[in-house]
């Protein structure tokens, strides 16, 4: 069965620090990969997604993620975080032959100190 | 604002009761998804409908059921409620059958508290 692991449940950074959130999935076939963000009191929204092509994907608000097929990973990065990036971040995977289920990771709560 | 609406925002009820959560997808979206978000289990996929038909099932309990109506709104029915059903229930919608590549747009959620 598909599963998604997010390594860090809580991350605390100071403003301007660099961010990398880990995401690994377990599925051997072709996958679609997503990062969603949930700001405090708001609904989940898409940060970026990967379907095919360039494994380095750029999303909104300066976020990017790199798909490394050999490592089954899709880590999220941002070179310099801001206080407004404080949110919960979810990695999600949808396998193209696994039906229409999107499996979410447990989420990583990021707190950015001003 | 994602364009997905959910009602009610909050619901407080007692164990053993039955509740109905409602979701209206974005205009033009044919697929509706239901998720449960709890502190101990994270965001769990429950069920997906496409144009009125069930398309995928996740970790949905037998006490829970859903349907999508001809006008494409969806309802999630939760019965014989238990304390552990307290959670945030999200609805999401997407354009259509290309579920693999569709971006899902999430609603604000319904917070269910079972006392």
Confidence class of residue A30 from pLDDT cuts 50, 70 and 90? confident
Confidence class of residue B100 from pLDDT cuts 50, 70 and 90? low
**Residue A66 · residue A50 · CB < 8 Å:** no
Angle at B81 between CA B77 and CA B83, to 5 degrees: 135
So what's the pLDDT on residue A42? 86
Tell me the shortest Cα–Cα distance from A37 to chain B, in angstroms. Answer: 11
Check A106 against B42: CB less than 8 A apart.
Answer: yes
Distances (CA, A) of B56 to A98, A101, B34, B72, B99: 10, 6, 11, 16, 10
**What's CA A40's distance to the chain center, in Å?**
17
**Residue A95 · residue A27 · CB < 8 Å:** yes
DSSP secondary structure string for all residues of B58-96: -S--TTEEEEE-TTS-EEEEE-S--GGG-EEEEEEEESS
Nearest CB to A101; choose among B2, B56, B101: B56
Nearest CB to B99; choose among A34, A51, A100: A100
So what's the pLDDT on residue A8? 87
Arithmetic mean of pLDDT, B46-52: 92
| Burial bucket for residue A77 (CB in 10 Å: 0-12, 13-18, 19+) | middle
Tell me whether B9 touches chain A (CB under 8 Å): no
Tell me whether A60 touches chain B (CB under 8 Å): no
Mutate which of B100, B103, B110 to test chain A, going by most A C-beta atoms within 10 A? B100
Arithmetic mean of pLDDT, A84-88: 96
Average pLDDT, chain A: 91
According to DSSP, the residues that pair with B74 across neighbouring strands are: B23, B68
Confidence class of residue A105 from pLDDT cuts 50, 70 and 90? very high
- Residue B111's Cβ-side half-sphere holds a number of Cα atoms within 13 Å equal to 6
**Residue A54 · residue A64 · CB < 8 Å:** no
**Residue B99 · residue A100 · CB < 8 Å:** yes
Tell me the shortest Cα–Cα distance from B52 to chain A, in angstroms. Answer: 15
Q: Is B46 helix (H, G, I), strand (E, B) or coil?
A: strand
Tell me the shortest Cα–Cα distance from A90 to chain B, in angstroms. Answer: 9
B31 → chain A, closest CA residue: A100
């Amino acid at each position: 069965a598909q599963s998604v692991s997010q390594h860090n449940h809580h991350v605390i950074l100071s403003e301007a620090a660099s961010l990398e959130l880990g995401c690994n999935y377990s599925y051997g076939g072709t996958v679609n990969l997503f990062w969603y963000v949930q700001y405090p009191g708001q609904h989940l929204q898409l940060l970026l997604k990967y379907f095919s092509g360039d494994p380095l994907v750029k999303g909104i608000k300066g976020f990017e993620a790199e798909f490394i097929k050999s490592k089954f990973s899709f880590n999220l990065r941002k070179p310099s975080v801001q206080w407004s990036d404080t949110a919960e971040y979810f990695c999600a995977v949808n396998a193209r032959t696994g039906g229409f289920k999107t499996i979410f990771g447990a989420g990583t709560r990021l707190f950015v100190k001003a | 604002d994602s364009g997905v609406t959910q009602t009610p925002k909050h619901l407080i009820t007692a164990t053993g009761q039955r509740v109905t959560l409602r979701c209206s997808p974005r205009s033009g979206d044919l697929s509706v998804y239901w998720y449960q978000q709890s502190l101990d289990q994270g965001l769990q996929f429950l069920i997906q409908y496409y144009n009125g038909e069930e398309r995928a099932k996740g970790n949905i309990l037998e006490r829970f059921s859903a349907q999508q109506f001809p006008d494409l709104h969806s309802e999630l029915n939760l019965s014989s409620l238990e304390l552990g059903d307290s959670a945030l229930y999200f609805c999401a919608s997407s354009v259509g059958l290309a579920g693999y590549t569709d971006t899902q747009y999430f609603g604000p959620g319904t917070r269910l508290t079972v006392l």
